[in-house]
Amino acid sequence: MTGHPMVKAERVHKSFGLIPVLRGIDLEVRAGEVFCVVGPSGSGKSTFLRCINHLEKINGGRLYVDGQLVGYRQKGDKLYEMREREVAAQRRDIGMVFQRFNLFPHMTAAQNVMEAPMQVKGLRRAEARERAEQLLARVGLADRMDTYPSQLSGGQQQRVAIARALAMDPKLMLFDEPTSALDPELVGEVLDVMRGLAEEGMTMIVVTHEMGFAREVGDSLVFMDEGVVVESGRPRDVLGSPRHERTRAFLSKVL
Amino acid sequence: MSDLTKTPGNEGGGAGAAEVPPELIKAVPVRHYGRWLGAVVVLALLAMLVVAFAGADIDWSVVGSYLDDDTIVAGARRTLWITLLSMLIGVGLGVTLAVMRLSKNPVLSGVAWGYIWFFRGTPVLVQLVLWFNLSYVFDTLNLGFYKDEMNDVMTPFLAALLGLGLNEAAYMAEIARAGILSVDQGQTEAAHALGMSRARTTRRIVLPQAMRVIIPPTGNEFINMLKTSSLAYVIYYEELFRAADTISSRNLAVMELLFVATVWYLILTTVFSIGQFYLERYYAKGSSRQLPPTPWQRIRAQLTSFRPKNTVGGVTV
């Protein structure tokens, strides 16, 4: 991987009240890379992902996306919290896919995809509709444009959610356990879409329990536990021959 | 990409069709004697009620003739008008109060809490009389740009509007708050992650979904308000109830005019119930797989499906 750093974390700390969740995360994700994050539940991997688009505020350290500090402006040694509008502007370039899809249930698949381009970017309806058509075709749902989420299967909903995130032309995609809420036979169709995205060179950070996907598609992988990065490297190496006892214990349970 | 158009198991259907269908069950249905008995008792009681009223000293022709009396119709119109306006104040102020209560600003949420505490904690009848008698404590109204005698300003109409509307706002605030809280946090997060601002998220994502929870109790409030507006009787607002009372104090047909008012209240509430059904149906979009059929659709379905049905194990054959 030779791309410039897309995400850079330096000693990132985060706690909910008195409970520390992230205890000094250092890592770097390069442009065009598929970066997988694995670890037991409660290890802070989802929280870290949510910090990247400022859904959670970090309490310490520095977090950069594409060279820009996330959620703060730095002048001299002083940090200033960003205004709501600036945070929203930062988020526009970062797509996020949630474990529970979080599609807007009162809108059809097409309307879900059109909403942000129309409301945030000011695209006209016809343009947005055309774009939605392309995106839904890309995730294999061209014939489901006018279907409401409740009428779609979990796998189809998640693919609409991916199309919705792509509609903002993000430079970075965050996947928060995108297949964990799916029936086993539906996992494949979502992973296929993600694999296609990776092949097109999208920068992706994927929190996942799908070790097969991580090994096959991932360029880098970190294993997190108790709020720290325990081990990182190429997926094949970390998953194939883990160096740390904790990684080995975890992998023996999930593989 | 997995192929979605593929329909699995087509070859299985042919084999099943070749099988001999199972013999239809012809069983004697269970006789529900209790149901018959219950129906007979209830019908008998109903008949007695009808007979009692038919024989009562009521001049039904008076009821009929006053149904479209000008005073009555004007009263019904005022009832409708004060209800619409009070609900408008109630919904507008109520949603504002709900957003205030959910605000992180302790002053805003505190004031909203206090408002709800006061207006929900006092009877609406007392509030109506309080507004009506405001001139006892403020003899002039001075808003800076507008100044007048309080007695001239605080007409029965305005007192009724303030009393009913401000009281309603307290209830609507709680209804709206429940609706907003019912929307999953993930919806807000998804909208924020797409770069939508907080205000836009509330307007485009949260409120439309909250509506589904807000509409049914609001319809209820509306129908309640149609009836509660009759309390404005005590402050001499010429709504339906007072109109009926004015006439009966002249012609002494007390019960007859009470019936006239009752019929009108029933007409108004029925019309609103029908409106509510369609409104709920509109906001159910996407939340259920199939919208409930409208009465028309139901009738049409009935008419087109009058063929006899044969069922085996719950499956129509």
pLDDT tens per residue across span B258-274: 999 999 999 999 999 88
Distance separating alpha carbons of residues A46 and A31, to the nearest angstrom = 21
| φ and ψ of A80, to 5 deg | -115, 135
Counting every residue, how long is chain A?
Answer: 255
Contact B168, B87 (CB under 8 A): yes
Instruction: Indicate the pLDDT class of residue B14, thresholds 50, 70 and 90.
Output: very low
The model's pTM is 0.77
Return mean pLDDT, chain A.
Answer: 94
Mean per-residue pLDDT for B157-163?
95
Contact A102 B186 (CB under 8 A): yes
| φ and ψ of A81, to 5 deg | -65, 140
A interface test, pick of B185, B187, B194 with most A CB neighbours within 10 Å: B194
Kind of pairing between the strands at B147-149 and A68-69:
unpaired
Comparing CB atoms, the residue among B1, B193, B285 nearest residue A106 is B285
A residues 187-216 closer than 8 Å to B (CB): 188-189, 192-193, 196
Contact B310, B264 (CB under 8 A): no
Contact B175, B214 (CB under 8 A): yes
Count CB-CB contacts under 10 A for residue A23: 16
Least confident of A175-179, A188-192, B299-303: B299-303
Q: Is B7 on the interface with A (CB under 8 A)?
A: no
Beta-carbon contacts of residue B288 (< 8 Å; ≥ 6 apart) = A150
Give the pLDDT of residue B3: 46
Residue B126 buriedness (CB in 10 A; 0-12 / 13-18 / 19+): exposed
Helices (H), B105-206: 106-121, 124-132, 150-153, 156-181, 185-193, 198-200
* Residue B126: strand, helix, or coil: helix
Is pLDDT at B316 greater than 50 in this prediction? no
Instruction: Indicate the pLDDT class of residue B7, thresholds 50, 70 and 90.
Output: very low
Give the pLDDT confidence of A78-108 residue by residue, as tens digits: 999 999 999 999 999 999 999 999 999 999 9
Q: Is B196 on the interface with A (CB under 8 A)?
A: yes
Distance separating alpha carbons of residues B285 and A164, to the nearest angstrom = 20
Give the pLDDT confidence of A194-246 residue by residue, as tens digits: 999 999 999 999 999 999 999 999 999 999 999 999 999 999 999 999 999 99
Contact A91 B189 (CB under 8 A): no
Give the pLDDT of residue B12: 45
Tell me what percent of the residues of chain B surpass a pLDDT of 90: 57
Q: Which of A123, A193, A183 is nearest to A154 (CA)?
A: A183
Is pLDDT at B135 greater than 80 in this prediction? yes
Beta-carbon contacts of residue B104 (< 8 Å; ≥ 6 apart) = none
Comparing CB atoms, the residue among B1, B191, B193 nearest residue A140 is B1
Min Cα–Cα distance to chain A from B206, Å: 9
Residues paired with A172 in a beta bridge = A94
Indicate the residue type of A155. Answer: G
Contact B208 A119 (CB under 8 A): no
Please give the structure tokens belonging to residue B49: 């009620």
* Residue B243: strand, helix, or coil: helix
Contact A79, A60 (CB under 8 A): no
Instruction: Indicate the pLDDT class of residue B301, thresholds 50, 70 and 90.
Output: confident
Indicate the residue type of A115. Answer: E
Helices (H), A167-244: 184-199, 211-217, 235-240
Beta-carbon contacts of residue B279 (< 8 Å; ≥ 6 apart) = B215, B219
Give the pLDDT of residue B150: 83
First CA to last CA distance, chain A = 27
Q: If you ran DSSP here, which 8-state letter would residue B271 be given? A: H
Min Cα–Cα distance to chain B from A96, Å: 6
Is pLDDT at A33 greater than 90 in this prediction? yes
Residue showing tokens 């008792």: B41
Chain A residues whose beta carbon lies within 8 Å of the beta carbon of residue B285: 106, 148
Mean per-residue pLDDT for B97-118?
94
Helix axes B254-283, B70-101, angle to 10 degrees: 40
Min Cα–Cα distance to chain B from A243, Å: 36
Give the pLDDT of residue B217: 92
Contact A189 B1 (CB under 8 A): yes
Residues paired with A22 in a beta bridge = A14
Residues paired with B316 in a beta bridge = B311
Q: Which of A55, A50, A88, A82 is nearest to A69 (CA)?
A: A82
SS3 content of chain A, % helix, strand, coil (to 5): 40, 25, 35
Kind of pairing between the strands at A220-225 and A60-65:
unpaired
Residue A194 buriedness (CB in 10 A; 0-12 / 13-18 / 19+): buried
Distance separating alpha carbons of residues B120 and B108, to the nearest angstrom = 18
Please give the structure tokens belonging to residue A148: 């409401």
Give the pLDDT of residue B298: 76
* Residue B26: strand, helix, or coil: coil
B residues 239-268 closer than 8 Å to A (CB): none
Q: Which of B192, B166, B198 is nearest to B86 (CA)?
A: B166
B interface test, pick of A82, A102, A158 with most B CB neighbours within 10 Å: A102
Residue showing tokens 């002039």: B140
Kind of pairing between the strands at B140-142 and B147-149:
antiparallel
Instruction: Indicate the pLDDT class of residue B305, thresholds 50, 70 and 90.
Output: low
Return mean pLDDT, chain B.
Answer: 86
Q: If you ran DSSP here, which 8-state letter would residue A227 be given? A: T
ipTM over 0.95: no
Give the pLDDT of residue B9: 45
Contact A91 B184 (CB under 8 A): no
